[in-house]
Amino acid sequence: MSGTIIENLSGKKLSVLVVLLIIAQITCFLIGGLVAPKPATNQNILGTPCKDSRVNGSSPDTSKWYYSRGIGACKPEDMHQFDVDSQYKAFQVVYTFQMPLPRNNMILDYSRWQQNLIGVLQVESIYHDEIHLASKIPMVLDARLAYRNKGDPDDAWKLYAISRIERYLECSIADEIEHYNYNCGMIPLFELGSLYHDYYLLNIRLPMEKAVNEGLGHITDLSLTVINQNGGFTKVWVSLKTIFFPIVICFMTWYWRRVNSMSRPPALLEYMLLALGSALTFLNLPLEYLTLSYDMPFMLLLSDIRQGVFYAVLLSFWLVFAGEHLMIQDGDQKNGLKCYWRHLSAVVVGCLSLFVFDMCERGVQLRNPFFSIWVTNIGAKLALSFIILAGISAGLYLLFLAYMILKVFRNINVKRCALPSMSSARRLHYEGVIYRFKFLMIATLLCASLTVVGFILGQVAEGQWKWDEELEIETTSAFFTGVYGMWNIYILALLCLYAPSHKKWPVEPTDQGLSEEIEFARSSSEPNEMLSLTAFARKTATE
């Protein structure tokens, strides 16, 4: 019986392999900490109020654009003067936001490496004795988004998206003193899945029609916070993908050739390892290079789908990995995925729920970037509930996986009682296998812990701009690149260590060793047998 490489690899070679993997893992953390900038950056743009040339109440003129810089720029209006007769004059202007802002008198442009753009609106309103704001007011906006590229004239803006949207403005004030500012919450406005163009322009009108925008008070300014992925971080991220992608494919090909070279059919754990490698390859595929030449607004959704597939396969693999290593009692064998249907169904339901939620948000945004599930009371509560439930489920999954691994360790300790009755060579062999297996299980638990923490931090970091909570979370580039590198290194190690070994166990020249070898060969003749550790468990369970 040959077993796997982890069981037959010499201690010296295994130590060298572990050291190389640790160095690779440290390198991934250092790349994120020393080379890559922070994952995302933001700009706060104060809207320029331009005099609206249209007749109030008429349909918006989609051919006329208002912008604050360049030839033909509009003249800003003073919105701080209060006139109770004409309400607050916000309906008579168009708030314009030209993106990105210049820096040090230099005209900047967006890079396609920056991948995406999220816009969050902030309303500034002043308190007056004549006008009192409710704590939560419906707010209707006529929003238009345009773009132009380098070399285009300053007024050559082209329509990207247009929508009449409704948001809820939530404001509060500590001291009701004349000309004091209300403290108003942030409003999610738009989300672009790609940054294909160089410049973007946002025009916002506040229509004053019947039963529309009543009671908004004296709005003085609108400010827009735009968040985009940092181009330098994207380059580092895609470089890691470019490096890991061919390496994983080569290891998968080598691994599956070894499995198919065996006289037995592949075991369940070997199929799961192949599925895990395939999911990682799908995640590693550097599709971001295509965004440099093509407009791909679905990239955010596709990235979520790729990561969701990887999470589903990885979580399922860990359950099967721990379950297949549980010591078999009374001949109870695990021959297929049907034995894990309860565990895997929970993973599938959770991932499908997140997929449906993502399609309801980013799927609709492919047609209307101004859509957001967070803008309604029910949608915001549902979205926040999804994130909280996902975090709780991830924590419970980690506890359950830790319980399964602890159960594996207990059963191993019980089975070790049979070691003294074996020959010295086979006893030393199994002791080495057990120590190596325990080390791999601890590494699995560590990988699962960091994965769950990364998932929760990713959900919170994405949602904190939308649910408007006083929550400051800084997820560093080192953590992102470290966890991503850990996934690749961990799976590469599994493909390497759990590949079938070509070495044969030594048979002692004594009759006892020969009879023991024959007995173990019989006990390991099951078609799904893969590990000598499982054979050891089955043998001791039947004695």
CA 322 to chain centre: 25
CA 347 to chain centre: 16
Q: Per residue in 318-348, pLDDT tens?
A: 888 877 766 444 344 455 677 777 777 778 8
Q: Per residue in 46-75, pLDDT tens?
A: 999 888 876 544 455 557 899 988 888 888
For the domain that residue 415 is a member of, what is the CATH number?
Answer: 1.20.1070
Q: Is residue 359 part of a domain?
A: yes
Does residue 260 sit in the same domain as residue 343? Answer: yes
Q: How confident is the model at residue 170 (pLDDT cuts 50, 70, 90)?
A: confident
Does residue 45 sit in the same domain as residue 35? Answer: no
Does residue 152 sit in the same domain as residue 255? Answer: no
Burial class, 24, CB count within 10 angstroms (exposed 0-12 / middle 13-18 / buried 19+): middle
Does residue 403 sit in the same domain as residue 418? Answer: yes
pLDDT at 240: 94
Does residue 162 sit in the same domain as residue 15? Answer: no
Please state the pTM of the whole predicted model.
Answer: 0.79
Does residue 133 sit in the same domain as residue 265? Answer: no
Does residue 207 sit in the same domain as residue 326? Answer: no
Weakest-pLDDT range from 4-18, 51-65, 394-408: 51-65
CB atoms closer than 10 angstroms to residue 440: 18
Q: Is residue 527 part of a domain?
A: no
Distance, in Å, from the CA atom of 276 to the CA atom of 270, rounded to the nearest integer, reads 10
Most confident range (mean pLDDT) of 369-373, 412-416, 524-528 is: 369-373
Q: What residue numbers bound the domain in which 142 lies?
A: 41-229
Name the strand (E) or helix (H) holding 387.
Answer: helix 377-415
Q: Are 228 and 116 in contact (CB under 8 A)?
A: yes
Please say which residue of 166, 197, 229 terminates a domain.
Answer: 229
Does residue 135 sit in the same domain as residue 242? Answer: no
- Average pLDDT for 120-141: 83
Please say which residue of 177, 203, 229 terminates a domain.
Answer: 229
Residue 24 pLDDT > 60: yes
Please say which residue of 184, 204, 229 terminates a domain.
Answer: 229
Residue 375 pLDDT > 50: yes
Q: How far is CA 71 from CA 48, 78, 93, in A?
A: 16, 21, 20
